[in-house]
Structure 1
Amino acid sequence: MTMDSPPPIGSAWLTTWTSSPVADLLIALALVGYLVLVLRLRRQGQSWPPLRIVSALAAILILVLVVNSALAVYSHHLFWVHMIVHLLLITVVPALLVWAQPIRLVRDASGEAVRARIDTIRAGRLFRGSISPRITVPLYAAVLILTHITGFQQAMSEHMWIHDGEMVLYLVTGYLLLLPLVGNELTTEPPMPHLLRFVVLAICMFPDTLVGIVLMMTSTPIAPAYAASRDWGPSALVDQTTAGAIMWFGGDGLMMVLMVIAGGRWISGGDAGASLGPWLDRIRRQATLGADDDGSVDLDDDEAALAAYNARLAALHERSAQPRPTIRPGG
């Protein structure tokens, strides 16, 4: 079955639209709710940074384009357009939502009961686990791999409910991954150290690269339904190769941008978040102060750390200088 819309050439990108009533309603409710909370906060005499509002509006705009514009129409017929939609949903929109800080907005604009409830949720094991890189990084990798280099794309082309579920899956996966990494939204206490944020973002480039290379190197169409739905445009393999290149270079490029932003926040934050995290800090302490460290020395206090390190060296020297008992044969 071929599509009725014209090929995506020139003005067709601007004039081709569709409608998604359920998604549009949810997006509109989210926008209204956000703006109502901002107004409530200002009535209470508190300010809300304009950059957060701009981030929220940008996220809403991209979502509208993803579900209603030519991107939505042609993503059913061109694999490479579908890949652009994927990157927008799993990286760009989640990052903008993190910068919009809806969790902080709800907490600041609410009463004591709601604030206490939010703080309880943030401190709970479910929330902490759901945004932990030990969960979100494997989830991110699994979602990318299983939805791109298996038969998922073909099944999605044949069943609209799979397509809709995929979009929600990408948005949720990206948001959970980036929530503790790319901003200062209310998450866990203490926040994730900056160095670990940087490392996690770098690790997330590997699934992008893997999926991109596999799609570019595969000589058989993974989802022939894309090409079968139209009588124009590139062949299935050319379309698939282009999609792979977009995933590889586009996905890695977006992660690099987020790494630069995370690095900028690290530098602008001074010493804030200088910790490496409990596990790496423990290794650092043991390497510097020894296994007998009692935790009383501030490792980031240069003089205290130097004194403790010198004391450790002196103890090691005394231990090595002690005479060793001699063992005589037959004695």
Structure 2
Amino acid sequence: MSTEADPAPDVRVRRRAGTAPLLAVGVLLAVVVAVGLVALTGGISYAVAGLTDPGAVTTYGITVVRVAADVSAAVCIGSLLLAAFLVPPQKSGTLDVDGYAGLRTAGFAAWAWFVFALASVFFTAADGAGRPVTEVLRPEVFVNFVGAIEQPKAWLITAFIALLLALGCRLVLSWGWTATLFFVSVGALIPVAVTGHSASGGSHDMATNSLLYHLVGAAVWVGGLIALLAHARRRGSHLTLAATRFSKVALVSWIVMALSGVVNALVRVTPGQLLSTDYGLLVLAKVVALVVLGVFGHQQRQRSVRGLQDGAGGGQLVRLAAVEVLIMLVTIGLATALSRTPPPAEIAAQPSTTELLLGWNLQGEPTVWRLIADWRFDLIYGTAAIVLAALYLAGVRRLRRRGDAWPVGRTIAWLAGCLLLLIATSSGIGRYAPAMFSIHMVNHMLLSMGAPVLFVLGGPVTLALRALPTAGRNAPPGPREWLLAFVHSPVARVLTNPIVALALFVGSFYGLYYSGLFDAALDHHWAHLAMNAHFLLAGYVFYWPVIGIDPAPRKLPPLGKLGLVFASMPFHAFFGVTLMNMQTVIGESFYRSLDLPWVDNLLLDQRTGGGIAWASGELPVLLVMIALLLQWARADDREAKRRDRREEATGEQDLAAYNAMLKQLADQGRPRD
């Protein structure tokens, strides 16, 4: 990470009474609420889990460090959000005074996040093993417990990422790196979410996916409001802009939290258990708090923004935000207590082996009808498909409302890509893909070679650049400028490098299946999410410079595009052939543990998957060739039209000048008398 040449902005001249005292009071309230509710409800039932009680220090200590870790994470994420997107940088790309102040706050919060995440490693190991935390502090015991339990390893990864964030906040000053740190900080929430309480038992796919949405929405909402409050107390500039932008972000975050919270609760508790169990009562309390926060916060932020636009000071915003922050932190305490209370459904349920490993049961052999009609909506990728389609149609609608045209073919291609993404992850294909290698390979081909081709033909970046408003010469940069910055960023240039794109696209076939990664990933839901993301992104960055409508950071000549496509074909074909001829089963232990009655020959199923991989490579190549031919033909037509317009504008001037040049050359070569 390199720093800018500009000196670090001096924030001391505008510093006012900070938010630290308010934050300390809020954290104390959250801890009191969490510990009190855990004591009242009994917390985790160790007897149900077959563990001994680790003692009060571990039982309540883990609650305290989790509250502190959650608040630290929210402050870090919210401060980076402020520095990267709520206040504008300088024209040179270096952070302004307000952005630098947010970056420094994020750095301090990241150090706290690191400390409490590291403490959570020990407390979670002790809690999972049913031993006092003092016993886990011994190195030999710690290594054994951390190696056997997933949650401590997740907290260790989070602590490492928090340490990187803390160091990064000290080293960078540019807007681009600050935005990168923000996305890294959001990603740091994932390890704990995908290995926590929701990642086990039946329907753990729904529970984990909804929890991911819930945690990200909560961190952005709570952390963003704390950062906005700190910005107002510092009397920072661009306060109206920051409050307006955050109001929109907060509304989206609240909607995401509300919907994901409902899904997560329904997985663990029935409506009849809301009033009859401790878990249900905590769910109701959290729902009430979120409703109050959503309605109260939105109304007050709108009133504060209107006041700022009318020239009023930020005093009202500070007072109202302070109250909202306190309620939010109490809600974090409620959520922590909820995570420490066993759901009634989990205590009583006895999931089958298939449901325990996959998250759902399979109804029978994957017939054509079941692959088409046996749907299980994927909260991550199914939602992404719907949102991407809606955003694209909104962009097309905006263009047409102002009288601009947008090719229908691009719209059809994009919507077809969204539909293919939805089918690959939420239909029977997505339901059976984790259980059978052959169906997994269908899923892989659709996500890596089908949907990306259609997505790049849709030209989403071009549409966004035309639909989003331009910030203006003296106005702060907005979404359009952020998108342009990403397209021209070093990351985009590296990813679209032909060698890198080819290695990611083709190399992932061999690296995933022949290195043991696939075997290790099969029984982890988060690994399936990561694989799907990799398939989509690797396919997109490969096809983007080849047939993409959008301008790529690296523009390839026509022969280069064709060569890149043909270079991938032998590697893809060889992968399919080697799969069909393998004598060992990839992921054998996982597939045998499922013991599906209709898969009596795992090697035959794997060879079927190899045949699917080999045969499916032909269709995308055909689509790419057709797209390239059409693009070349249209490029020739555009060049011919440009020549015609130039000739019409200049008349016979070019021809006359050319004839005059020939005459002059002839006269010079003619012998003189």
Q: Specify the code of the residue in structure 1 equivalent to 2:556.
A: M
One-letter identity of the residue aligned with 1:93: A
Given that 2:449 and 2:539 are in contact with CA atoms closer than 8 Å, whether structure 1 keeps it comes out as yes
Judging changes above 3 Å, is the alpha-carbon distance between structure 1 residues 242 and 41 closer, same or farther for their aligned structure 2 residues? same
- Alignment of 1:241 with 2:599, yes or no, is no
TM-score, L = length of structure 2: 0.38
**Deviation (angstroms), 1:117:** 4.9
Residues 208 and 248, structure 1, Cα contact 8 Å, conserved in 2: yes
1:204 aligned onto 2:562: no
When residues 272 and 135 of structure 1 are mapped into structure 2, their CA distance, relative to the original with a 3 A threshold, is farther
CA distances 1:170-220 after superposition (whole Å, capped 9, x unpaired): 10110011111013322237x321111000001111321222122111111
* Cα deviation code 1:282-302 (max 9, x no counterpart): xxxxxxxxxxxxxxxxxxxxx
* Residues 1-331 of structure 1 mapped to structure 2, 5 A cutoff: 1-2=353-354, 3-113=361-471, 115=480, 117-188=482-553, 191-224=555-588, 225-226=590-591, 228-229=593-594, 230-233=596-599, 235-270=601-636
Looking at structure 1, the residues matched to 447 and 504 of structure 2 have their Cα atoms a distance apart, in angstroms, of: 15
The structure with higher relative contact order (CA 8 Å, sep 6+) is 1
Deviation at 1:257, TM superposition (A): 3.5
Distance 2:519 2:408 in 1: 43
Residues 21-80 of structure 1: CA deviation (Å, up to 9, x unaligned):
233333222222111111111122101111111111111111111121100111122211
In structure 1, what is the equivalent of residue 114 of structure 2? Answer: none
TM-score, length of structure 1 as denominator length: 0.75
Distance in 1 (alpha carbons) for counterparts of 2:558 and 2:466: 25
Matched AA of 2:573: T
Work out the CA distance in 1 between the residues paired with 2:622 and 2:548: 15
Does the 8 Å contact 1:144/1:207 carry over to 2? no
- Would you say the 8 A contact 1:78–1:227 is kept in 2? no
Q: Is the 8 A contact 2:449 2:620 kept in 1?
A: yes
- Which blocks of at least 5 consecutive residues in structure 1 are unaligned? 274-331
Distance in structure 1 (CA, Å) of the matches to 2:489 and 2:365? 51
Match of 1:311 in 2: none
Relative distance call for 1:55 and 1:253 in structure 2 (3 A) is: closer
Task: Considering fraction of residues, name the structure with more helix.
Answer: 2
Query: What's the offset of the Cα at 1:153?
Result: 2.4
Q: Is the partner of 1:87 in helix, strand or coil?
A: helix
Checking the alignment, whether the CA contact within 8 Å between 1:16 and 1:69 is kept in structure 2 is: yes
Separation of aligned partners in 2, 1:179 and 1:155: 31
> Closer, same or farther in 2 for the Cα pair 1:152/1:59, shift >3 Å?
same
Distance 1:261 1:32, change over 3 A: closer
TM-fit CA distance, 1:85: 0.8
SS at match of 2:586: coil
The one-letter code sitting in structure 2 at the alignment partner of 1:158 is D
Supply the AA of the counterpart residue of 2:631.
R
Distance 1:253 1:228 in 2: 35
Asked which structure has the greater CA Rg, the reply is 2
Aligned residues with identical type, % of pairs: 25
1: distance between equivalents of 2:559 and 2:517?
Answer: 35
**Mapped contact 2:462–2:549 kept (Cα < 8 A):** no
Query: Is contact 2:509-2:575 (8 Å) kept?
Result: yes
For 1:210, give the aligned amino acid. Answer: F
Change in 2 beyond 3 A, CA 1:261/1:38 = closer
SS at match of 2:380: helix
Letter of the aligned partner of 2:446 in structure 1?
A: L
Q: How many aligned residue pairs are there?
A: 272
Secondary structure at the residue paired with 2:583? coil
Q: What are the ranges of 5 or more consecutive residues in structure 2 without an aligned counterpart? A: 1-352, 355-360, 472-478, 640-673
CA contact (8 A) 1:137 1:177 kept: yes
Q: Is the 8 A contact 2:438 2:609 kept in 1?
A: yes
Please give the per-residue CA displacement for 1:154-176, whole angstroms capped at 9, x wherever unaligned: 22221111111000011011001
Deviations 1:215-247 (A, max 9, x none): 111111112233542111351110111111111
State the Cα distance separating 1:251 from its structure 2 match: 1.9
